[in-house]
Amino acid sequence: MSWFGTLPTPVGVIGVVSDGTAVTRVTWITEAPAGAEVGPDPLLSEALGQLTAYFTGRLTRFDLPIELGEQTVATRAVLTVLHETVGHGETLTYGGLAARSGTEVPARGIGSIMGANPVPLIVPCHRVVAGDGLGGYSGGVPGHGLEAKRWLLEHEGALPASLF
């Protein structure tokens, strides 16, 4: 059994899925996935509360159990290192994360792994940037991923606020 809830945010409406023991998805899909119930679940409520606190600037580190689902060993290692070592207001390049993870994933492969992250924001793939700019971002409202990434990094103080 899983539960689904949504939260309006400055970067679009976010959908969150909980299986009752872990957060399994954070997405910009606003309809419950197949098999998910819309309704009360203590963990889902806590996740939505922590996300609200993050977006209002009152939370800098999530304290939620997560489940990454079926991933390759390398993908799981990269996402775990990202989750455990890149804090609020920090950024790391794709190459830096590749090196830090201890895997043999090249910097280019890190971008694909970021796109496979089932729990963005909680596992902060928006904090991974290119050596010469923001890089990509598959989160946010479709077609506005880089705007969402910029907003998130500005919100955390990792980028100066945009002049336009």
- Where in the sequence numbering do the catalytic residues fall? 125
Please state the three-class secondary structure of the chain as a single string: CEEEEEEEECCEEEEEEECCCCEEEEECCCCCCCCEEECCCHHHHHHHHHHHHHHCCCCCCCCCCECCCCCCHHHHHHHHHHHHHCCCCCCEEHHHHHHHHCCCCCHHHHHHHHHCCCCECCECHHHEEECCECCCCCCCCCCCHHHHHHHHHHHCCCCCCCCC
